[in-house]
Structure 1
Amino acid sequence: MPPLMIFAAGLGTRMAPLTDTRPKPLIKVAGRSLLDRALEMGRQAGADRIVVNTHYLGGQIADHLAGTDVAISHEPELLDTGGGLRKALPLLGAGPVATLNPDVVWTGPNPLATLAQAWRDDMDALLALVPLAQARARLGGGDFAIDAQGRIARLGDFVYAGAQIIRSDLLADIPDQVFSLNLLWDLLIARGRAFGMVHAGGWCDVGRPEAIAEAEAMLAETHTQAPQTHV
């Protein structure tokens, strides 16, 4: 399992007013913060190095992580996902890294572990995807299509689920300081080296206050089923 980067620096504007006084990763779903759920997923998958980036109300996240072995990459100015990942590379180390958006609740197999098992040398990026029809609380259309070999292309009926493995050295090819990982994905898609893996479980986007109840309902639906990862 590669080192893990958890993106926790965003402003959380869609989650207002809950984010007026606390960062979105510390909002709770079914009694546990989104950040703690993400950390548990990483540890269950075997990540021996975890980095969390911070910006908005970052002191609260730092206090929450005090006494743990989780490293913090603080961004005085927001760098977006690509810039934020590149800033954190000294803490993550060289080679492929996993990244995780904490504002998602999953059921079923641990997606980080599944990504690690599916990773191959011919891949520059492997993204976890969910079918648009099964993406709970999702607003908008799909992000990607996926072919028979697992390669992804833009515009299709699959949603990026918020977890991936990506070769971090490729970030050096981008001159911008502030940029989204979408920019790197487009380069890798053009090279035929960006792949997708469909998550075999439930998924809910917890980006708005009303999505919390939907995520909790999804967790309750699977509570009595066979043991699974619920994060």
Structure 2
Amino acid sequence: MSLPLMVFAAGKGTRMAPLTDVTPKPLIEVAGRTLLDRALDLGRAAGVGRIVVNIHHLGGQIRDHIGTQAAISDETDLLLETGGGLRKALPLLGPGPVITMNPDVVWTGPNPISALLDAWDEGMDALLMLVPIARTHGRQGGGDFSLAQDNRLIRKGELVYGGAQIVRPDRLAQIPDQVFSLNRLWDLLIAEGRAYGLVHSGEWCDVGRPDCIPLAEGLLR
């Protein structure tokens, strides 16, 4: 199964300052490769279809870096957050389920996109890749979710959202705000029992702050 991939590259990277004063966070390198390229590598290895990358902060650098590798959803005028950003990109992504990925993380173990595609079922509206908090690095704060016996998502628990998912974007049209987080969509789907989770079997590092870069590089070694 081949699905389109949306990579969220429009954030300001405030936590990564001062590095992001001159470089957008997705173009920061970890072990000699940019975070954005690592995300694109995972997508291509999993056989995704069309790829869309959104841009805002220092977006011209990302546009130049990508070249013809992906379509650009330009949020230069207004940063729309993840939910608004995905909704704006839908004309580029096409109809049906979409893979979304945050590039500011590093994974070990199986390709998370491949694992999501293998586990995806047409009866789902969302499938989020989760990591037990004990297998995370650089994480600040607790977990995000737990799972029912049938792997339906429950808010609060010891599982961290890893920044990769498959989601049906149809319900985005019901959210009136222009700028909003994907949490709004998840809440709708969780309430209806349509959101599921998959637990990643490897480890994971948040690369959101300068001190996380050596943690990620150590994990990759």
Q: With structure 1 as the length reference, what TM-score do the two structures score?
A: 0.94
1:172, CA displacement in angstroms? Answer: 1.0
C-alpha contact (below 8 Å) 2:147/2:153 kept by paired residues: yes
Q: Distance in 2 between matches of 1:69 and 1:111?
A: 20
Please list every run of 5 or more consecutive structure 1 residues that lacks an aligned counterpart in the other structure.
221-231
Asked if the contact 2:135–2:202 (Cα under 8 Å) also holds between the matched residues in 1, the reply is no
Tell me the residue number matched to 2:201.
Answer: 200
Counterparts of 1:44 and 1:183, CA distance in 2: 30
- Structure 1 match to 2:72: 72
* 2:46 is aligned with 1:8: no
Q: How does 1:117-132 map to 2 (within 5 A)?
A: 117-132=118-133
Task: Please state how far the C-alpha of 1:2 moved relative to its aligned partner.
Answer: 1.1
The one-letter code sitting in structure 2 at the alignment partner of 1:49 is R
Matches within 5 A, 1:41-190: 41-66=42-67, 68-75=68-75, 76-190=77-191
Q: Which amino acid aligns with 1:109?
A: P
1:121 deviates by 1.5
Once the two structures are TM-superposed, the CA of residue 173 in structure 1 deviates from its matched residue by 1.4
CA deviations 1:77-98 (Å, max 9, x no partner) are 0001000000000000000000
**Which letter does structure 2 place at the counterpart of 1:214?**
L
Paired AA for residue 74 in structure 1? D
- SS in structure 2 at match of 1:19: helix
Q: CA deviation at 1:19?
A: 0.3
Deviations 1:61-113 (A, max 9, x none): 011012x2310001020001000000000000000000000000001111111
Query: Which TM-score applies when normalising by structure 2?
Result: 0.98
One-letter amino acid of the counterpart of residue 69, structure 1: Q
Q: Which AA in structure 2 matches 1:71?
A: A
1:92 counterpart letter in structure 2? L
Aligned AA (1:65): I
Cα RMSD of the aligned pairs, angstroms, is 0.7
**Which whole-Å CA distance do the structure 1 matches of 2:165 and 2:12 have between them?**
22
Residue 26 of structure 2 aligns to which amino acid in structure 1? P
Equivalenced residues, count: 219
- Distance, in Å, in 2 between the alignment partners of 1:153 and 1:188 is 11
Aligned partner of residue 52 in structure 1, secondary structure: strand
Q: Distance in 2 between matches of 1:2 and 1:185?
A: 20
Cross-structure match for 1:225? none
| Aligned residues with identical type, % of pairs | 68
2:117 is aligned with what amino acid?
A
- CA offset digits 1:166-205 (Å, max 9, x no partner): 0011211111111100001011100001000001111100
Q: How far apart in 2 are the matches of 1:151 and 1:125?
A: 10
The residue number in structure 1 matching 2:40 is: 39
Runs (4 or more) in structure 1 with deviation over 3 Å come to: none
Alpha-carbon separation, structure 2, partners of 1:33 and 1:121? 34
